Homo-oligomer: A and B are copies of this chain.
């Protein structure tokens, strides 16, 4: 019981020196690697850079205690930072104390929601974010983030949050491009893109083993940070207008207490919920993928509690909303992390940085961080997935397209909510007009298929109607229409058999429709039968009067119905 809620108890007793060595190395590597992105994502959310460091500290420890994934690394991530910035700028002015405080409230709410969802085992909620909606949302977010970073890369001030105004601000600002900033930012961008596209192969060509080559490629941002910081310091570019990180307070994160302000809480409720669900989906799908590779398992509901704990820790230590991050997790995994203690060691490393080394970051140019973010998030734009969805299903594609368009035009919340609503609406619409087929016997078998698609045997006084959907309120009336049309066009009918092999549910509305169909067919001297009714459906029907009132019988199989009913009525009497 205790082990279920504190997964650390399952692995800590078996900890040994070999595991410790691997975890220490991974922790050290992660410490180095995540500093640029932690600073960058705090800036993306409109927060001071140090908040990103704070959010990579205690939350990591909380997840180490509570999480079930062995290798997940928790911290600020791009999408969540983007959503955080969108939510906060609705309730406070960026840079104000209220903005900082709202970030804590958002983390607190998100943490509470995740923990509650975990306790109530509501991880299934994440399933309602369909793949096309997620893919569309990530693609659009990638574009939004790139647009938000372009100003930093060019050294142009752009303050609009919506996409189109920002692009036009950037275009009209082009004449005032700040060349030193552009040189630094553009240089980094070029270097990182080349490294990503060619680096791995080049390094292997130089004789590095695959794993090391991967790691060095991933170290690109760290290298870019070191080199550009040195250049900026050496040539004193900060005084020439290159935006730099500047002073970062030294020391461990302060203890913070998010206040209770009803109107603020209410305003952040929906964003917090969306951040929780999106963060959970991103984190858990990555966790599952990596766990599968090592034949481990993670528990989605306990993951909710782990991520919830991480966000609560962020709320009380001057942080921002966090989740399991793709790039930091992959770094951790590739660096050989074996248990969550790697995360613990990384937290100690980041703590050391915030204690002693923040002055070294003074001259780090914002443009370098912008280049880092831009390269990281452009992989989110998944064109092949969009093309593939278009080919496979117009309905899935329309949900994806709506998500993309609304995310770009109206922002992250409108995009994701509309995408989910449209997916659900389309599914309901589709099930409200179910496919049904008249079936006939495939000669000399006990198998029955659609008369329009296969060569089948049929008899005129018997209609075998296969209903290809659960019967529920949305399609109950449609079923009535289908059967009435059938009876109206075939006056010689004596028996209608509803084949229920695809009917997984008959709700109270559909039961009333079946009652109505039975009565109406009985008026026309046609008997109603059922075949292949599933166990659970049959159990439920037995709790109503329908089976007693039904004019016909329930057959185990379509073949049994055929054997019994395919002789004409005259022969039966």
Contact = CB atoms under 8 A, between A and B. Distances in A.
Contact of A124 (B124, B391, B432, B536): B432
A447 B507 CA distance: 27
A476 to B, nearest CB: 7
Q: Which 10 pairs show the lowest CB-CB distances between chains A and B?
A: A130-B473, A396-B508, A131-B509, A446-B446, A502-B502, A468-B504, A130-B509, A501-B501, A127-B474, A447-B557
Interface string A522-542: 000000000000111000100
A127 B473 contact: yes
A507 B127 CA distance: 13
A474 B501 CA distance: 21
Contacts of A511: 392
A428 interface: yes
A476 B129 CA distance: 11
Most chain B CB within a 10 A radius of its CB, from A388, A391, A392, A430: A392
Contacts of A470: 431, 469
Nearest to A502: B502
A399 to B, nearest CB: 9
B428 A128 contact: yes
B508 A131 contact: yes
B535 A389 contact: no
Contacts of A468: 504, 534
Contact of A559 (B437, B447, B478, B544): B447
25 contacts: A127-B473, A127-B474, A128-B474, A129-B473, A130-B473, A130-B474, A130-B507, A130-B508, A131-B509, A292-B520, A388-B508, A388-B544, A391-B544, A392-B508, A392-B540, A396-B508, A427-B507, A446-B446, A447-B557, A447-B559, A453-B535, A469-B470, A501-B502, A502-B502, A502-B504
Given A427-B472, A432-B124, A543 B504 contact: no
A509 to B, nearest CB: 4
B447 A556 contact: yes
Interface in A221-235: none
Contact of A131 (B396, B469, B473, B556): B473
A450 interface: yes
Contacts of A124: 429, 432-433, 474, 478
Interface in A428-461: 428-435, 437, 445-447, 449-450, 453
Given A127-B475, A447-B556, 4 more contacts: A133-B473, A392-B540, A393-B507, A447-B557
Contacts of A423: 473
A132 interface: yes
A155 to B, nearest CB: 42
B508 A543 contact: no
Interface string A116-144: 00000000100111111100000000000
A536 B428 contact: no
Nearest to A469: B504
Given A127-B477, A473-B423, A475-B127, A504 B392 contact: no
Interface in A363-415: 388-389, 391-393, 395-396
Given A446-B445, A520-B292, A535-B453, A543 B392 contact: yes
Contacts of A132: 508-509
A499 to B, nearest CB: 10
B391 A543 contact: yes
A512 interface: yes
A485 to B, nearest CB: 10
A542 to B, nearest CB: 10
Nearest to A424: B428
A127 B476 contact: yes
Contacts of A237: none
A128 B428 CA distance: 9
A199 to B, nearest CB: 28
A424 to B, nearest CB: 7
A493 interface: no
Interface string A466-499: 0011101111111000000000000000000000
A127 B396 contact: no
